[in-house]
Structure 1
Amino acid sequence: MTRTRPTAPLLGLSLALLCAMPALAQAPAPTARGAAKAADVSDVLKTPRPQGGEWLGLYLMDKKVGYFFTDLSLVPGHKDQVRSINEMVFKATVGTKLSERLYREERTYEAKPGGRLLAFVVQQQGDGGEQRLEATNSPSGLRVVRKRPGLPDEVRTLPASVEVVEDADQARVALYRKAPVAGTITDGTDLESYKVTTTVDQPEERMVGGVKVRMGKALTISEKEKVPVVAYLTDKGEMVEVDFGQTMQARAESEAVAKRMDVVEVFGLTRIVLPRQLPVEARSVPGRTVMVMTGLPEKFQQSTYRQKYVKLPDGRVEVTLVADFPKLTSLKALPVADPDGGENLKANIIVESDNADIRKLAKKLAGSDKDAYTVAKKIIAWVATNLEKDYGASADRASDVLRQRKGDCTEHSLLTVALMRAAGIPARRVDGVIYMVNSDGVPALYWHEWVEAYVGEWTQMDPTFNQNVADATHFGVGQEGNAEITSLIGQLKVVEVRDRASAAGAPSGRAGQ
Structure 2
Amino acid sequence: MRRTFVCLVVLLLAARAGADQPKGRLLLDHWYAAYLNGAKAGFVHTTVREFGSGTKILRTVNELDLRVKRFKDDVRMFMQTGTDETPAGKVTGVFMRQGLAEGQQLVLTGTVDDEQLHVKVTGLANPMDKKIWWNDQVIGLYGEMNLFRNKKVKPGDTFSYMHYEPSLNAVVTVKVTVKDFEEIDNNGRKLKLLRVESRPDKILGVQLPASSLWLNKDLDVVRSQVEMEGLGKLVLVQTSKEEAQRRDGPTAKLPDIGLTNLIRLNRRIEDPHETDSVTYRITLPNDDEPATAFVRDSRQKVARAKGKSFELTIQAIRKPDPDTDGGEDNVAEYLKSNDFINSKDAKVREFAAEAVGREKDPWRKAQRIERWVHDHMRVVNFSVAMATADHVARTLEGDCSEFAMLTAAMCRAAGVPARIAVGLVYAENKGMPTLAYHMWTEVCVAGQWLALDATLGRGSVGACHLKITHHSWNDTQSIAPLLPLTRVMLGKPAIEVIRTGAED
- Length-normalised TM-score, structure 2: 0.71
Please state how far the C-alpha of 1:464 moved relative to its aligned partner: 0.5
The counterpart of 1:52, out of the listed 29, 32, 39, is 29
What are the Cα deviations for residues 311-353 of structure 1, in whole angstroms up to 9, with x where unaligned? 47785443322212343345799x9734xx83x5554443333
Look up the match of 1:327: 321
* Structure 1 letter corresponding to 2:255: V
The answer to whether the Cα contact below 8 Å between 2:31 and 2:43 also exists between their aligned partners in 1 is no
Look up the match of 1:470: 461
The counterpart of 1:250, out of the listed 202, 212, 234, is 234
Secondary structure (helix, strand or coil) at the match of 1:388 reads coil
* Structure 1 letter corresponding to 2:398: G
Q: How does 1:242-391 map to 2 (within 5 A)?
A: 242-243=225-226, 246=229, 248-253=232-237, 254=239, 255=241, 256=243, 260=247, 262-280=253-271, 282-284=272-274, 287-295=276-284, 297=287, 299-302=289-292, 303-311=296-304, 315-325=308-318, 326-329=320-323, 337-338=330-331, 342=333, 344-345=334-335, 347-362=337-352, 365=355, 372-391=362-381
Distance in 2 between residues matched to 1:442 and 1:265, nearest whole Å: 16
**Cα–Cα, structure 1 residues 136 and 200, in superposed 2: closer, same or farther, change >3 Å?**
closer
Distance in 2 between residues matched to 1:143 and 1:57, nearest whole Å: 31
**Cα–Cα, structure 1 residues 79 and 164, in superposed 2: closer, same or farther, change >3 Å?**
farther
**Cα–Cα, structure 1 residues 363 and 283, in superposed 2: closer, same or farther, change >3 Å?**
closer
Secondary structure (helix, strand or coil) at the match of 2:459 reads coil
Q: How does 1:424-435 map to 2 (within 5 A)?
A: 424-435=415-426
Look up the match of 1:450: 440
| 1:488 aligned onto 2:461 | no
| 1:130 aligned onto 2:103 | yes
Look up the match of 2:200: 220
Distance in 2 between residues matched to 1:207 and 1:311, nearest whole Å: 47
Distance in 2 between residues matched to 1:442 and 1:388, nearest whole Å: 25
Look up the match of 1:5: none
Secondary structure (helix, strand or coil) at the match of 1:228 reads coil
Please state how far the C-alpha of 1:441 moved relative to its aligned partner: 2.1
**Cα–Cα, structure 1 residues 223 and 121, in superposed 2: closer, same or farther, change >3 Å?**
closer
* Structure 2 letter corresponding to 1:449: M
Distance in 2 between residues matched to 1:416 and 1:369, nearest whole Å: 16
The answer to whether the Cα contact below 8 Å between 1:198 and 1:218 also exists between their aligned partners in 2 is yes
Give aligned-pair identity as a percent: 19
The answer to whether the Cα contact below 8 Å between 2:280 and 2:311 also exists between their aligned partners in 1 is yes
The answer to whether the Cα contact below 8 Å between 2:336 and 2:343 also exists between their aligned partners in 1 is yes
How many residue pairs were aligned?
445
* Structure 2 letter corresponding to 1:128: A
The counterpart of 1:156, out of the listed 123, 127, 131, is 127
* Structure 1 letter corresponding to 2:210: V
Please state how far the C-alpha of 1:94 moved relative to its aligned partner: 2.4
Look up the match of 1:498: 499
Secondary structure (helix, strand or coil) at the match of 1:377 reads helix
Secondary structure (helix, strand or coil) at the match of 1:415 reads helix
Distance in 2 between residues matched to 1:13 and 1:206, nearest whole Å: 34
Please state how far the C-alpha of 1:466 moved relative to its aligned partner: 1.1
Q: How does 1:81-96 map to 2 (within 5 A)?
A: 81-96=57-72
Distance in 1 between residues matched to 2:62 and 2:338, nearest whole Å: 24
* Structure 1 letter corresponding to 2:340: I
Look up the match of 1:437: 428
The answer to whether the Cα contact below 8 Å between 1:171 and 1:231 also exists between their aligned partners in 2 is no
Please state how far the C-alpha of 1:405 moved relative to its aligned partner: 0.9
Structure 1, 252-261 or 375-384: larger mean CA deviation: 252-261
Distance in 1 between residues matched to 2:352 and 2:425, nearest whole Å: 28
Secondary structure (helix, strand or coil) at the match of 2:140 reads helix
Distance in 2 between residues matched to 1:312 and 1:145, nearest whole Å: 44
Please state how far the C-alpha of 1:442 moved relative to its aligned partner: 2.1
Secondary structure (helix, strand or coil) at the match of 1:122 reads strand
Look up the match of 2:50: 74
What are the Cα deviations for residues 76-122 of structure 1, in whole angstroms up to 9, with x where unaligned? 767522212122223223234222233334554555654432x6462
Please state how far the C-alpha of 1:362 moved relative to its aligned partner: 3.9
Look up the match of 2:477: none
Look up the match of 2:175: 199
Look up the match of 1:12: 11
Gaps of 5+ in 2: 1-6, 18-24, 152-157, 471-480
Distance in 1 between residues matched to 2:344 and 2:198, nearest whole Å: 40
Secondary structure (helix, strand or coil) at the match of 1:236 reads coil
Please state how far the C-alpha of 1:488 moved relative to its aligned partner: 2.6
Gaps of 5+ in 1: 1-7, 19-33, 36-49, 148-153, 504-513
**Cα–Cα, structure 1 residues 392 and 220, in superposed 2: closer, same or farther, change >3 Å?**
closer
Please state how far the C-alpha of 1:379 moved relative to its aligned partner: 2.4
Distance in 2 between residues matched to 1:95 and 1:267, nearest whole Å: 5
Distance in 2 between residues matched to 1:226 and 1:410, nearest whole Å: 21
**Cα–Cα, structure 1 residues 207 and 14, in superposed 2: closer, same or farther, change >3 Å?**
farther
**Cα–Cα, structure 1 residues 155 and 408, in superposed 2: closer, same or farther, change >3 Å?**
closer
The answer to whether the Cα contact below 8 Å between 2:290 and 2:309 also exists between their aligned partners in 1 is no
Secondary structure (helix, strand or coil) at the match of 2:424 reads strand
Distance in 1 between residues matched to 2:363 and 2:82, nearest whole Å: 44
**Cα–Cα, structure 1 residues 216 and 99, in superposed 2: closer, same or farther, change >3 Å?**
closer
What are the Cα deviations for residues 357-378 of structure 1, in whole angstroms up to 9, with x where unaligned? 3245445655666654343323
The answer to whether the Cα contact below 8 Å between 2:34 and 2:40 also exists between their aligned partners in 1 is yes
Please state how far the C-alpha of 1:501 moved relative to its aligned partner: 8.8
Q: How does 1:21-32 map to 2 (within 5 A)?
A: none
The answer to whether the Cα contact below 8 Å between 1:144 and 1:157 also exists between their aligned partners in 2 is yes
**Cα–Cα, structure 1 residues 330 and 72, in superposed 2: closer, same or farther, change >3 Å?**
farther
Distance in 2 between residues matched to 1:54 and 1:225, nearest whole Å: 33
Cα RMSD between the aligned structures?
4.4
Look up the match of 1:24: none
* Structure 2 letter corresponding to 1:269: T
Distance in 1 between residues matched to 2:503 and 2:405, nearest whole Å: 38
Distance in 1 between residues matched to 2:345 and 2:440, nearest whole Å: 21
Structure 1, 233-242 or 174-183: larger mean CA deviation: 174-183
